[in-house]
Structure 1
Amino acid sequence: MDFDFSSEQYLLRDTVRDLLRRECTPGAVRAAWASESGRSPERWRKLADLGVVGLTVAEEHGGAGMDEVDLVLILEEAGRSLLPEPLLETTAVGAPLLARSGSDTLRAEWLPRIAAGDATVTVGLAGSPYVADATADLVVLERQGALHAVTQDRLTLQPLRSVDRARRLFSVTAELGDDTLLSTSAAVARWAFDHAAAATAAELVGVAGAMLDMTVAYVKQREQFGRRIGSFQAVQHKLAETLLLVDSARSAVYYAAWALANDTPDASIAASVAKAYASDAERRANAEALQLHGGIGFTWEHDLHLWLKRGKALELQYGDADLHRRRIADWIYATAG
């Protein structure tokens, strides 16, 4: 059994990392905070031209025909770069959900546009008080146990404020009917939630890894009492323990991606393990990064706060660590009985 990614998967990750280093700098993220839409059509187009947006769309619809394992490294890079655009909602959840449950007409209408970068799709699942990027061309909503695919002409949006202003959140009211119905299957809704949670976990690992790298670089240059603070054993222990959590979370995320791609019996639980572990790892990285940066870490001028706020927002998205631990406990009790 091969436990590593292929050279092609690593090459795609490195290509996306290089693109985001150029196109999604901290300055660009700050610009997203300040802009009306919070989105860059040019950056989205470049991701689409690279094949990233349509990565999970079948080749017959103009996509790459890849799966969750191919995508997980890209989502980690999206988290590392604080990508504002809805890659998670569109590529990790929305497009595969349309392919899985949409009618032939719906798939033919939307999947080629998604793969080409001409349309975005987002999801609003049960239990969430908001829908991220609800200005997308197509919004999949879970209402009263059913999933609906709704276009903008049948939506009323109320903007909500997020601690991370690069995130665009909305309260959504929709005109639903038989013509918007996508699925009434609880299994399909669970599939969507599992994919959303696992994808969020991948982004959390990217956010946590970026904060850890920033903090290691900072303690190597910051001096106190005539010594660089990175030489103090207490500081080293904090960073080593954080690294252990982040690397362990990364392993859990990678397994969840494999389990979802192969539809294993434990795929749903693997997604919850990944989300719980990644939320915990990010929370630890968040706290240690802020403490070890000292007073400068609180300031608007320092870029660290961009990662701190994205991490805090994603900790809660598609279930916090406690919710996912309850899912795991329920599964254990059910299988034991």
Structure 2
Amino acid sequence: MDFSFSRDQLLFQDNVRSFLINEVTPERIRELWLSDSGRSDQLWAQLMELGLTALTVPEEQGGMGMNELDFILLAQECGYAGLPEPLVDTMLIGVPLLAALDESHAVLKQHWLARVAQGRARLAIAEPGNQLVSDAHVADLLLLAHGDEVHAVEPGAVRLTRNVSVDPSRQLFQVDWTPTPSTCVAAGEQGQRLWAAAFNRGALGCAAQMLGLAKRMVDLAVDYTFERKQFGKPVGSFQAVKHLMASVAVQIEFAKGPLYRAAYALAEQQPGQEVLVSHAKLATAEAAMLAAKNTIQAHGAMGYTWEVDLHLFMKRAWALDKVWGDRGHHKGRIRAALFDGNPALGAGKTSDGDCA
């Protein structure tokens, strides 16, 4: 069985990585921190020109019809670059949520999905139970939760109150609005199902970005410790510093399997998605949090300064660790699967099928 990504998927990842590294520089991120919106229409237009805003939009609405497994490597690169724009939320959470609405909302789906594919609309999605909505101020359509109901609300019908985030790249707002029958697009069991799927995709998107962030922090620390010298030698040549980076590298490699397995499960609509997504979120969070701890130690006192780029990515990792389910929530889902269910555990039971 071949579990590797295809050549096309890897080539697309390389192209996106090259673009993001060249365009989403630490200097540009700092400039956006100082702007009123923290967002760039020019950068969003560049993402549209690359075709990234059409990736997960169904083909009938002018998109490419890709799934979670196709997008997961790109979400990882968005994390590596620290991309402030809501590309992952729009493409991995919002678009599939709209696309899953029933045919009674066909006109709404066609209108908004086509606009997203054309790069003319950004979506903001509320995490159920979380009062703060990311990027609500630049969203052309907000997908909000009211109990089990899904509401599609336009910006003119909401009032926003800005909230400060530990990560200045995250633009958080409390959204005050009034649910109405005209904005409700799903309710009851359908609403529960849509929000459950959105939650899994949101957690998966955070996990992919945290894996990219962990890798970026390690790369920054490696570069810094080979430039900085003590006793006439690069600090990175000392065994203690090598061990700090090696420990993170091991966690990054261990996190890849759960992340890609969870993406495959969502793409193929396999049972047990919740546990696989929680495993991915926990594994990538562990890698990212260890990366933040070890790389700031490798930087020494300079790691605490504003001028060093490390904090741009460290703060993003801290923020993503707490959204779409914190570690306590995801540990609870895994505990319930292990002790409340009847899982098939042990040798010979780790695959869905027999291997010759």
Q: TM-score, normalised by structure 1?
A: 0.97
Tell me which residue corresponds to 1:131.
Answer: 133
Within a 5 Å distance, the mapping from 1:1-337 to structure 2 comes to 1-101=1-101, 103-135=105-137, 136-184=139-187, 185=190, 186-336=192-342
- Residue 220 of structure 1: CA displacement? 2.1
Structure 2: which amino acid aligns with 1:221?
Answer: E
String of CA shifts for 1:274-322, please: whole Å, max 9, x gaps: 1111111100000111111011111111111111111111111111222
String of CA shifts for 1:161-220, please: whole Å, max 9, x gaps: 112112110001112111111222322211010000001100010111100111122222
Distance 1:9 1:50 in 2: 15
- Residue 132 of structure 1: CA displacement? 0.3
- Residue 250 of structure 1: CA displacement? 2.1
Structure 1: which amino acid aligns with 2:87?
Answer: L
Structure 2: which amino acid aligns with 1:27?
Answer: E
Indicate conservation of the 8 Å contact 2:80/2:209, yes or no. yes
Distance 2:2 2:186 in 1: 36
Distance 2:339 2:194 in 1: 23
User: Match of 1:178, SS?
Assistant: coil
Distance 1:54 1:175 in 2: 31
String of CA shifts for 1:22-74, please: whole Å, max 9, x gaps: 21110110011001111111111111121111100011111111111110011
Indicate conservation of the 8 Å contact 1:273/1:324, yes or no. yes
Distance 1:328 1:88 in 2: 25
- Residue 225 of structure 1: CA displacement? 3.4
Indicate conservation of the 8 Å contact 1:246/1:278, yes or no. yes
User: Match of 2:151, SS?
Assistant: strand
User: Match of 2:99, SS?
Assistant: helix
Unpaired runs of at least 5, structure 1: none
Distance 2:150 2:282 in 1: 25
Distance 1:93 1:85 in 2: 14
Distance 2:339 2:115 in 1: 44
Distance 1:45 1:96 in 2: 21
Indicate conservation of the 8 Å contact 1:101/1:183, yes or no. yes
Q: What's the Cα RMSD here? A: 1.3
Q: TM-score, normalised by structure 2?
A: 0.92
Moved more, 101-110 or 281-290: 101-110
User: Match of 2:161, SS?
Assistant: strand
Indicate conservation of the 8 Å contact 2:218/2:245, yes or no. yes
Moved more, 284-293 or 18-27: 18-27
Unpaired runs of at least 5, structure 2: 344-356
Structure 1: which amino acid aligns with 2:115?
Answer: R
Indicate conservation of the 8 Å contact 1:280/1:321, yes or no. no
Distance 1:99 1:302 in 2: 42
User: Match of 1:142, SS?
Assistant: strand
Distance 1:258 1:125 in 2: 22
Tell me which residue corresponds to 2:351.
Answer: none
Distance 2:41 2:57 in 1: 20
Distance 1:313 1:121 in 2: 20
Indicate conservation of the 8 Å contact 2:146/2:179, yes or no. no
Distance 1:292 1:177 in 2: 54
The number of equivalent residue pairs is 337
User: Match of 1:280, SS?
Assistant: helix
Structure 2: which amino acid aligns with 1:79?
Answer: G
Distance 2:223 2:168 in 1: 26
- Residue 151 of structure 1: CA displacement? 0.7
- Residue 8 of structure 1: CA displacement? 0.9
Distance 1:221 1:152 in 2: 48
Indicate conservation of the 8 Å contact 2:101/2:186, yes or no. yes
User: Match of 2:321, SS?
Assistant: helix
Percent of aligned positions that are identical: 39
